[in-house]
Structure 1
Amino acid sequence: MLEMSTKGRLFGLILFFSIGITSASDFPFFLGYGNISPLTSQSTPINCDHYERKGEIILVNPSCILQGKIPQLSLKDRIDAVWKRLSRVETGYLSHQAFSVYRPKSVEFQSGDTLFPLSRERRNALLSAQKKNKKAELSLSLFAENVKSSLAFFIADKDISQLKPCTKTNYLLAFENLDGKRIKAGSEFNFNHYLFGLRGYCQGQGSLDLKFYGGVCGVSSQLFRAALTSPVLKIPLRRGHNERFSAYYGDSVEGDDAAVYETSKQFILRNISDEDIFIKTFQKDEKTFLVFATDQKAVERKWVEVQKIYETPLQVRITKQIYQKAIPQKSFSWFYVLPNFSSANEKKETKLIDSELFVSRYLKINHELR
């Protein structure tokens, strides 16, 4: 009996060590990936959502990146990461179409370094930081590819090649300083109040010696056009021009301009979503792009339809309608779950959630270069 007991204990000991070795082989150290933190630290959960931003550098836990996890960047940091790599912006608002359907537009990146897959040098640097119990320093732009799909962009472009020097100066002053402006969730953005805070305007000469001579109305019109394409922006206050200036808006009467003048003609936008919206700007040669950027989840299953009715040669009626599609209901079965694709149900799932009307009446088309 003693012999059997001894053999049993020996067998149990061998089995214990065999299981231990098999389990240990699951850790990267046994797979030849280099040094890792002590096994005892693995039982402590790592918070991979936390990070710090210092300028264009992101400080993160190196263990998270080694595990293929990235921090939950704020909306502003995600947008900034994308803008650091930006090379091309898709055309958004279509001025010459009587009817258009708008959804978020895409952007393209410059070729460059990406975070994943990890290069040998970056992996070694992360392992070194991990061993020293230090945070890893990574360029913000490295996260661009990983966060792009979480963002939604609504865009209006403008050709500024025909603007006179003074007009272009004012346009670019108002346009460039918009970059990075935030419209908080549920709040309004008053473009006139924004203009009052700028310095460096080129004043008009002669009979049209206006405080904000030329240019700035081109920016308000660009804001108006981009806002027409967004399902999370309302336009509670907008005034059209008395004259359609072809140098600003083209020869055809499209009704999509917005006039601003001190306090008498104001332009106001309202963010109707639960997420912030950031205004971003981009210029390539003589073409500018004004962009509203927000979180993709704010516009999920939403789109905009814009229709123009040309009532007279100098009068246009624009209707903006925002639609939302409900989460599809699924048919239940004990054996499978299958979406219901019937067209009747699809119509029931789509609802109109908001509508706005804008009427533009002009006295004439002005072909003067300004």
Structure 2
Amino acid sequence: MRLIFIIVVATSLMPISAAPAQAAPLDVKGGYYHFIGDEGGDVDVTAQAAVLRNMEALTQYRSIADGSTFPGWQKEWINNLGPGVDRNFVLELNYYGAGEPTIPRPQTVDGVVVPAPDMTIQQRPGDTWKWAYGYRQVTSGQVDPLLKRALDQLKTMPYAETVNIQLGSEFDTDHEFGTTENGIAHGWAASDARALTAVQYIIGYFRSHGLPAGVTFSIGMGGWHRASFRRMHPEWLRGDVQVLQWNAYNHGTPRTPYQVFNRTRAWAIEDLPRWRTKEVVIAEWGTTANVGNQAVWIAGAGAAIKRINTDGRGFRIGTLTYYDNDPNWGELMDRDAGLEALRSVYTARPFIG
């Protein structure tokens, strides 16, 4: 309380024109993610971190069905990165990591049987629909043993205060063609509403069962559909979610880095004005090689973030992690050139003050 009082008094005596305009945009954290299909999963990026010289963020993907969530199976390297790296763990209801994802099955955890997931998501016509634990399964307590297992691991994880739990990867992508729970179909908007009850339940469960201090929460969004983004951030959930998250890709129609990073933010400024003081985590960003030179595009990211963070409109971008996976989204076709471009961005303002 003493520190807060001093800051308030100093600010009240300072002329508006003397405010440190450049303080807010500094200390943006840059990260890197790499994935190798079924052969390696989320890859150890320690070597790439040495190349980047200032890697301060990391995104990882975990299913609650997986028996090893924090830090993950054979993922001790995440702990070894130390306290200077923000860890964004995407905790999903999608069924993977505990056997064949296409064959959902019950699990027994601490002597309690957890039923097989009963929901299908990503129901794009022609694609194989993915299994996930249903939102009703969550709110009825059926998956509590899985939540407890994950939380128990988080409690013993060093540097837990650096962890943000992103609930879901992209709810907009999961719900675009509706969902089916226990044989009952739900449309996009109804699926969003059901997901929010599960999100609130999970946050409440973690907090009431000894969540380590400093752990934050966000709602996983691709950020490509305005109405869905607005629906997934209702006013009543604002107190439970500390940071906003969306993904940002230069994909399909070529756009500038500023246009890519600012698209979802522009919607949020209009639709979620009471959220604007929250910081933003870009869990995935990238550019495809078929819309221009990747290294050149990446090199422009720093200026775009600085422009966003200094315009005074809120929703400061505090973290962004490059997604080096899948040539249709962001895989670096020339990895050496791409990493060098990322290094040039992450070792200059606003990533280094």
TM-score (structure 2 length as normaliser): 0.23
More strand by share: 1
TM-score (structure 1 length as normaliser): 0.22
More helix by share: 2
Which of structures 1 and 2 has the bigger CA Rg?
A: 1
